[in-house]
Amino acid sequence: LYSFAIIGCGKISWRHAALIAERGKLAAVCDIDKTRADEMADKFSAKAYYNAGEMFTIEKDLQVVSVCSPSGLHAQHSVLSLKNGCHVICEKPMAITSADCDWMMQAAKEADRHLFIVKQNRYNPPIVALHELTAKGKLGRILSVQLNCFWNRGPEYYKQSWRGDKELAGGTLYTQFSHFIDLLCWLFGSPKVVSAVSKNLLHQGVSEIDDEGVVLLEWENGAIGSIHYTVNSFSKNMEGSITVFGEHGTVKVGGEYLNTLEYQQIDDYVIPALNKGNLANQYGGYSGSMSNHDKVYDNVLAVLAGKEKVATSGLEGKSTVQLIEKIYNN
Ligand SMILES: NC(=O)c1ccc[n+]([C@@H]2O[C@H](COP(=O)([O-])OP(=O)(O)OC[C@H]3O[C@@H](n4cnc5c(N)ncnc54)[C@H](O)[C@@H]3O)[C@@H](O)[C@H]2O)c1
């Protein structure tokens, strides 16, 4: 059994802890908030630490660390873990600057350890089907793509939290929608940013980052695309969707979190019935993406057993971060 640690015992970390406990041993957990670290340590019979550096000076047998701290700290926590000889599972976004992504990849290379980035939307059944279509070229030449991220995060979500903090969150495309942006790069390659506008319209005073934005994209092969994102969908999450117009087919994957195949019209082909997939992660008061972390952990263990390759590498994590960086710098 592999020996795991978690850095950052907040909302998403509980999902990690449960999956680790099913597959290995959660030996140590760390959070600067003592109550949070203690609570998780008690529940999983792990040792609690309140400082990541201290955890590594004492724990010498850790093999895998899951980094679940605020996004702006992913790089330093991942590098620290890699330097201490551990493989790293890093929550999305990989980091909030591409320079930090390079730092992490360099550390993984020097330590000869794996770096896994959580991109669980790739496992949503309709996204798996769409990827298969594009990989096989069944839609023909891709003409245009529309990504809609219409979610709701009210002021409470940002109050007394790092989530609206420029230094720790970076921007809404990192915090809420980086795994949606990942799909654009994964399915179609990295586009050029033609223009972008982002605004903070309803979260002044509680958040330093944007809550609305519109982006125009263009790919090297001439395909064009748009991203429309908001956390101001009234009162609840409305839609997470991607629509693809190809020369030989049109497909829309939608629902609240890219969970349903909403439309397909493909030359001489029909996507067969899909299984429903997992429900969205629930965080008490708000909901997120499809809960596919189990598949992320299955890949980690298969890679460590030498049976699979890393499903989402540092390089892929970086291409998402780079695209978001280009959008905000436009
Ligand atoms: N894949 C997904 O669907 C998904 C879902 C939610 C969150 N996330 C990502 O997971 C990360 C955490 O998000 P969350 O919603 O769980 O946040 P959270 O605020 O609930 O948890 C973060 C925890 O990190 C702790 N922390 C802060 N600084 C620390 C430090 N220096 N050392 C140790 N611990 C420290 C905080 O005290 C807090 O308990 C974010 O990067 C977020 O983008 C991913």
Model pLDDT for residues 244-260, shown as the tens digit of each residue:
999 999 999 999 999 99
Pairing of strands 239-246, 142-150: antiparallel
pLDDT over 90 at 282, yes or no: no
Q: How far is CA 44 from the centre of its chain?
A: 25
pLDDT over 80 at 153, yes or no: yes
pLDDT over 80 at 305, yes or no: yes
Question: Do 59 and 5 form a contact (C-beta atoms < 8 A)?
Answer: yes
**Roughly what angle, to the nearest 10 degrees, separates helices 178-188 and 125-135?**
30
pTM, two decimals, is 0.96
- Name the residue at shortest CA distance from atom 17 of ligand 1: 10
pLDDT band at 67; cut points 50, 70, 90: very high
One-character DSSP codes across 79-121: HHHHHTT-EEEEPSSS-SSHHHHHHHHHHHHHHT--EEE--GG
In the prediction, which pLDDT does 278 show?
78
pLDDT tens for each residue of 94-152? 999 999 999 999 999 999 999 999 998 999 999 999 999 999 999 999 999 999 999 99
pLDDT band at 304; cut points 50, 70, 90: very high
CA of 23 to the centre of ligand 1 (A): 22
Q: Which residues pair with 313 in a beta bridge?
A: none
Contacts 24+ apart (CB under 8 A), 205-210: 206/155, 206/158, 206/159, 206/164, 207/155, 207/158, 207/163, 207/164, 208/164, 208/165, 208/166, 209/164, 209/165, 209/166, 209/169, 209/170, 209/171, 209/172, 209/175, 210/171, 210/172, 210/173
CA of 273 to the centre of ligand 1 (A): 36
Which of 16, 69, 287 is the pocket-test mutation for ligand 1 (most atoms within 8 Å of CB)? 69
- Name the residue at shortest CA distance from atom 30 of ligand 1: 32
Residue 66: CB within 6 Å of ligand 1?
Answer: no
Q: Average model confidence (pLDDT) for the chain?
A: 96
CA of 88 to the centre of ligand 1 (A): 15
Which of 12, 38, 165, 320 is the pocket-test mutation for ligand 1 (most atoms within 8 Å of CB)? 12
Residue 280: CB within 6 Å of ligand 1?
Answer: no
Residue 32: CB within 6 Å of ligand 1?
Answer: yes
pLDDT tens for each residue of 222-248? 999 999 999 999 999 999 999 999 999
Residue 230 structure tokens: 């908001």
In the prediction, which pLDDT does 280 show?
82
pLDDT over 80 at 58, yes or no: yes
- Interval 9-25 mean pLDDT: 97
